[in-house]
Chains A and B, each alone.
Chain A
Amino acid sequence: MSDNTITIDGQAVPFAPGQTIMEAAMAAGVYIPHLCHNPEFTPHGSCKLCTVTVNGRNAASCTMPAAPGMVVQNDTEELNANRRALTQMLFVEGNHVCPFCEKSGNCQLQAMGYFLGMMDPHYDQFYPPRDVDASHPDILLDLNRCILCELCVRASRDVDGKNVFGVTGRGPHTRITVNSASGRLGDTDMAVTDRAADVCPVGAILKKRHGFEVPIGQRTYDHKTIKDVHMEEAGK
């Protein structure tokens, strides 16, 4: 076995120096469920869905660098049960009403729920009061559905160079904020063509007036699992 190899569920997976476990796994065609990870952006490590067992200890695979000889468990009953529970928590912590959400069928949270065999929310709903900001002419911000992955923060800062989004509050009060004097999206220089307008995995940042344009049956996850889609994106 070469130095730059780890094993995931018994399978040897090579890695390039500096790669995380997630990056190595995806490059080798091994799927690790994830939500806040997006290969285009610096890892964030907030959703914990990608948690694997590394040499007996749990760690977020999207932030943990691969190291020679690591023994990783990924696709186990226990880890998948934890992932399911985390997904359920994400559902109840926000106001996710799939039947009339325009992101339905294209939503990663929903697709993850299906992929992990989530049959119900299990936990009591929080029904948190969350804001809708429709002040931007072309973009709708509906924080009812935000899962705090901070992909918008990263995209706006690192790709668009605009820093439109930030995070404030702690624990259950954590929320996305908009960096303008009024706190309204309409008062920022965000454009509908920005990467940040297109990056939200759920239905929290949406292009206005396009809801439900794609018919049922032709949406991203109508015939594919989130694993299929993520692996395709990784070129696998």
Chain B
Amino acid sequence: MTFELETAKEPEKLKRVVIEPVSRVEGHGKVTILLDDEDRVHQVRLHIVEFRGFERFIQGRPYWEVPVMVQRLCGICPVSHHLVAAKAMDVIVGAKQLTPTAEKLRRLMHYGQMLQSHALHFFHLASPDLLFGFDSDIAKRNIVAVVEAYPEIAKQGVLLRKFGQEVIRLTAGKRVHGTGAIPGGMNKNLSREEREILLKDIYHMVAWSRDAVHLAKKLYTDDMERNTQFGYFRSNMLGLIRADGALDLYHGGLRARTETGETIFDHVDYSHYSDYINEEVKSWSYMKFPFIISKGTQDGWYKVGPLARINNCDFIDTPLAETERRDFVAYGHGFPIHSPLAYHWARMIEMLHAAETIKDLLHDDDVSGNDLMVKGEKALEGVGVLEAPRGTLFHHYRIDENDQVTMANLIVSTTSNNHAMNEAVRQVAKQYLDGHTVTEPLLNHIEVAIRAFDPCLSCATHAVGKMPLMVEILDAEGRALDRVYKDGAGEVGCAV
């Protein structure tokens, strides 16, 4: 299926603009734009090179190795892969219901991950754009400048992230690439001393997370008109939901709603995900395009992540985050909010929920229990799903009689958001492409749109505004008419 601006009628007659982040790690993306002689936009595509080698690499490995191994997939949220693979392997070892201790420890690890990833995403990567403006001097649009101009905000961002990492360390054994979750449960509990360490700081974390929601809201509502319009599109939304309709980032059934908030399906057992979701392959992209089967490829694409989740849930079971959710939802006047930049606001509401949940779990004696493991009858297939910081994450494995993995299928959040990000980039190109000269503001705006969904693609290893990008305008024969690059130091130059 094709969408407006996805495929031009006579591409050979058009000029081509290529925007390519020359990044080395994580997702690697490239934007191409086709223009006619009047500089009208005819086609915009975001191509994401997805790392799929893993699914082959894991074949033949013993299943219990998978939750540790999959953490190599993502530098920002390894814990999400760790936990979701462990959930799939719970099914394989026949652990139908984890012990309360194991389940709560898993949740603690997951919410620690949510806290650190959301803090990184908002404070380190997005806040410079939002605080200084998308068009501000690149040299000033970074976390260092935030530290200078808003020292208190920057400090809180750093400490929130550190706290989340500390929760991960104490539950998984290490800040990165730990081993806490194993098929059927956890390999350690949280001692009383470890709880005390975290309890000392958690109240600050809750308070600062609340401040962060207010900051995100202010930055959004200060320029309401621009921010609601920026990269605007409407779509279906997908995510996990608890049986009672509460936001639940660790476990639940699948809920999909339309752009106006009507139910497509609800409380679906995710082990049957493939009856509800399929992935379309398009010739021009390495990354697949998932869609809701009942709505078809044309109408069935959806978005995931904080905005989809906050729109989709009926309530949040922690009081401060619930208050903020109501405030947020009110801005939709009865309809879901779809503006990409609202992702940041929704993200901070989730961060507050994560902080509150961590606080409650730290007070729960179950997390210091010793009943860590259950096992039952072995199965040869397992599906795990959870809500990773960037959205719904699916892991599906099959093993043979010898315990070796024979099949792995992963749908990562970035893939679920593939179409949505394409749509956002199309809107931004329409709104901000000014003639066929590639301007720095256009680069920045595209970067800002992608970053609303996904920090990896905008490359977390590069400071904001320093994402190496290459943009080319090619004529119909592929000759470069104009080329602008931005190197890793944020310097902009002309190569033709």
Q: Mark B67-103, 1 if CB is under 8 A from A, else 0.
A: 1110110000000000000000000010000000000
The number of residue pairs between A and B whose CB atoms lie closer than 8 Å in the complex comes to 58
Any A CB within 8 A of the CB of B179:
yes
Any A CB within 8 A of the CB of B274:
no
| Residue contacts A-B, CB under 8 angstroms, 27 given | A99-B68, A99-B71, A99-B72, A99-B177, A100-B68, A100-B71, A100-B177, A102-B68, A132-B60, A132-B404, A134-B402, A134-B403, A135-B402, A209-B183, A209-B403, A211-B62, A211-B64, A211-B65, A211-B68, A211-B182, A212-B179, A213-B182, A215-B180, A215-B187, A216-B174, A216-B179, A218-B188
B contact residues around A134 at 8 Å (CB): 62, 402-404
Any B CB within 8 A of the CB of A10:
no
> Which residue of A102, A135, A214 is within 8 Å of B65 (Cβ)?
A102
Report whether B64 and A102 are in contact in the complex, using a CB–CB cutoff of 8 Å. Answer: yes
Any A CB within 8 A of the CB of B173:
yes
Given A132-B60, A214-B187, the answer on whether A100 and B72 have CB atoms closer than 8 Å is yes
| B75 CB, min distance to chain A CBs, angstroms | 13
Q: Mark B397-408, 1 if CB is under 8 A from A, else 0.
A: 000001110000
Docked pose: A140 CA to B183 CA in angstroms: 17
Q: Mark A192-213, 1 if CB is under 8 A from B, else 0.
A: 0000000000000000111111
Any A CB within 8 A of the CB of B369:
no
Q: What is the predominant secondary structure among interface residues of chain A facing chain B? A: loop
A contact residues around B93 at 8 Å (CB): 209
Which residue of the partner chain B has the closest CB to A203? B65
Q: How large is the interface on B (under 10, 10 to 19, 20 to 34, 35 or more residues)?
A: 20 to 34
Any B CB within 8 A of the CB of A217:
yes
A contact residues around B183 at 8 Å (CB): 209
Q: A100-B68, A208-B62, A216-B174 are in contact. List 16 more A-B contacts (CB 8 A).
A: A99-B71, A100-B65, A132-B60, A132-B61, A132-B404, A134-B402, A140-B62, A208-B403, A209-B403, A211-B64, A211-B65, A212-B64, A212-B67, A212-B187, A213-B182, A215-B173
B contact residues around A215 at 8 Å (CB): 173, 179-180, 187-188
Any A CB within 8 A of the CB of B178:
yes
Which residue of the partner chain A has the closest CB to B176? A99
A contact residues around B177 at 8 Å (CB): 99-100
B contact residues around A212 at 8 Å (CB): 64, 67-68, 179, 182, 187
> Which residue of B69, B172, B188, B403 is within 8 Å of A100 (Cβ)?
B69
A contact residues around B178 at 8 Å (CB): 216
Which residue of the partner chain A has the closest CB to B400? A134
Docked pose: A186 CA to B401 CA in angstroms: 12
Report whether B173 and A217 are in contact in the complex, using a CB–CB cutoff of 8 Å. Answer: yes
B contact residues around A210 at 8 Å (CB): 64
Docked pose: A209 CA to B95 CA in angstroms: 14
Give me the interface of A with B, judged by CB distance under 8 Å.
99-100, 102, 132, 134-135, 140, 186, 208-218
Which residue of the partner chain B has the closest CB to A134? B402
Given A215-B179, A215-B188, A216-B174, the answer on whether A209 and B72 have CB atoms closer than 8 Å is no
Q: Mark B47-64, 1 if CB is under 8 A from A, else 0.
A: 000000000000011101
Give me the interface of B with A, judged by CB distance under 8 Å.
60-62, 64-65, 67-69, 71-72, 93, 172-174, 177-180, 182-183, 187-188, 402-404
B contact residues around A217 at 8 Å (CB): 173, 188
Docked pose: A218 CA to B172 CA in angstroms: 13
Docked pose: A211 CA to B68 CA in angstroms: 10
Docked pose: A10 CA to B67 CA in angstroms: 50
Which residue of the partner chain B has the closest CB to A99? B177
B contact residues around A213 at 8 Å (CB): 182, 187
A contact residues around B404 at 8 Å (CB): 132, 134
A contact residues around B172 at 8 Å (CB): 216
Which residue of the partner chain B has the closest CB to A215? B188
Docked pose: A115 CA to B178 CA in angstroms: 22
| B277 CB, min distance to chain A CBs, angstroms | 28
A contact residues around B60 at 8 Å (CB): 132
| A23 CB, min distance to chain B CBs, angstroms | 37
B contact residues around A132 at 8 Å (CB): 60-61, 404
Docked pose: A218 CA to B189 CA in angstroms: 13
| A136 CB, min distance to chain B CBs, angstroms | 8
Docked pose: A211 CA to B177 CA in angstroms: 15
Which residue of the partner chain B has the closest CB to A98? B177
A contact residues around B174 at 8 Å (CB): 216
| A187 CB, min distance to chain B CBs, angstroms | 13
Which residue of the partner chain A has the closest CB to B62? A140
Docked pose: A209 CA to B402 CA in angstroms: 11
Docked pose: A17 CA to B315 CA in angstroms: 80
| A89 CB, min distance to chain B CBs, angstroms | 25
**When A and B form their complex, which 9 residue pairs have the shortest distance between CB atoms, in order from nearest?**
A216-B173, A215-B188, A134-B402, A100-B69, A211-B64, A215-B187, A212-B179, A100-B68, A134-B404
| B248 CB, min distance to chain A CBs, angstroms | 26
B contact residues around A211 at 8 Å (CB): 62, 64-65, 68, 182
A contact residues around B72 at 8 Å (CB): 99-100
B contact residues around A214 at 8 Å (CB): 187
Docked pose: A33 CA to B177 CA in angstroms: 29
B contact residues around A186 at 8 Å (CB): 402
Most buried by A among B65, B177, B180, B183: B65
Which residue of the partner chain B has the closest CB to A136? B402
A contact residues around B403 at 8 Å (CB): 134, 140, 208-209
B contact residues around A135 at 8 Å (CB): 402
| B68 CB, min distance to chain A CBs, angstroms | 4
Docked pose: A99 CA to B172 CA in angstroms: 14
Which residue of the partner chain A has the closest CB to B404? A134
Which residue of the partner chain B has the closest CB to A140? B62
A contact residues around B188 at 8 Å (CB): 215, 217-218
Docked pose: A169 CA to B179 CA in angstroms: 37
B contact residues around A140 at 8 Å (CB): 62, 403
| A115 CB, min distance to chain B CBs, angstroms | 21
Which residue of the partner chain B has the closest CB to A214? B187
